[in-house]
């Protein structure tokens, strides 16, 4: 299974109302603002894509907050979505240090977005909400996958992993939940006993460079035609 990179589309937190495909200036400030504000931009761009490719259904791929946005877009535009793939995404919130301290510290680094996801993690029904929604998405023909690193120090695995997601293809289990520091795919430096993950936020960004994760993506995207998830001969990914 494979996919054509020419069919891949991009998304951005800032869009131009007159021509959404051209993103406006983007910085960390946009990533740290209220997720609902970012959703407004993503919704505008996605609606533009739907108008340009009315016969196609889309596979949404998103890392971290991008995966949460993909999840929300799928719920809003279920008829236009063939699949969702998230990578260490705060689907159920983010709360690495289970205490009141992070409620004070996290917003200093992650702004309004950090506060949003910490509060979401504190909601008792967040887990049930996501599990129920993913079940409903799959029941409506949307393939849903989550990749979750146990080494993530930003989004704990309990918030990024969805039990009702797809965890096997053709009867073969996916390597979709793993510990970066016990994986044999990362080289070990001579002076350390643990593998080296070159990342400021250990485990969080590293998931996008995990060879096992990257090796499985073509199979995941390639499964869409087999599942008959879209009516036309192409699938758009972003």
CATH (domain of 195):
3.40.50
Number of domains in the chain: 1
pLDDT at 203: 64
- Of 92, 167, 169, 90, nearest to 131 by C-alpha is 92
Ramachandran assignment for 33, one of left (phi > 0), alpha (psi -120 to 50 degrees), beta (any other): beta
At residue 195 the predicted structure's pLDDT band, cuts being 50, 70 and 90, is very low
Residue-number span of the structural domain to which 121 is assigned: 5-237
Alpha-carbon torsion (145, 150, 180, 96), positive or negative: positive
Q: Average pLDDT in the 9-32 region?
A: 67
Lowest mean pLDDT among 102-106, 142-146, 177-181: 102-106
Average per-residue pLDDT for the chain: 77
Pull the structure tokens for residue 9: 């589309």
pTM given for the model: 0.81
Task: Please state the separation of Cα 213 from the chain's center in Å.
Answer: 13
Percentage of the chain surpassing pLDDT 90?
Answer: 31
Return the SS3 of 208.
Answer: helix
Q: In this predicted model, which residue has the larger pLDDT, 111 or 6? A: 111
Q: In this predicted model, which residue has the larger pLDDT, 230 or 105? A: 105
CA–CA distance, 153 with 144 (Å, rounded to integer):
24
Please determine, for residue 107, whether its predicted confidence score (pLDDT) is greater than 60: no
Q: In this predicted model, which residue has the larger pLDDT, 130 or 190? A: 130
pLDDT at 38: 87
Please determine, for residue 138, whether its predicted confidence score (pLDDT) is greater than 60: yes
CA–CA distance, 12 with 35 (Å, rounded to integer):
13
CA–CA distance, 77 with 71 (Å, rounded to integer):
10
């Amino acid at each position: 299974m494979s996919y054509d990179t020419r069919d891949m589309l991009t998304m951005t937190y800032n869009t131009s109302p007159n021509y959404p495909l051209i993103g406006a200036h983007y910085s960390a400030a946009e990533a740290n603002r209220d997720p609902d504000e970012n959703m407004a931009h993503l919704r505008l761009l996605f609606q533009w894509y739907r108008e340009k490719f009315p016969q196609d259904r889309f596979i949404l791929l998103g890392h971290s907050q991008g995966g949460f946005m993909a999840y929300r877009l799928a719920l809003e535009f279920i008829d236009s979505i063939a699949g969702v793939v998230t990578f260490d995404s705060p689907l159920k919130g983010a709360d690495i240090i289970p205490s009141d301290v992070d409620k004070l510290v996290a917003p200093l680094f992650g702004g309004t977005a950090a506060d949003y996801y910490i509060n979401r993690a504190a909601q008792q029904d967040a887990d049930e909400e996501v599990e129920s929604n993913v079940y409903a998405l799959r029941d409506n023909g949307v393939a849903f996958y989550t990749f979750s690193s146990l080494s993530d120090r930003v989004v704990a695995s309990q918030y990024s992993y969805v039990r009702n997601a797809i965890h096997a293809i053709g009867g073969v289990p996916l390597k979709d939940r793993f510990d970066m520091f016990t994986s044999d795919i990362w080289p070990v430096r001579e002076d350390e006993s643990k593998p080296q993950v070159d990342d400021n936020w250990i485990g969080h960004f590293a998931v996008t460079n995990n060879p096992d994760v990257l090796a499985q993506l073509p199979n995941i995207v390639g499964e869409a035609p087999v599942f008959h998830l879209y009516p036309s001969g192409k699938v758009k990914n972003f």
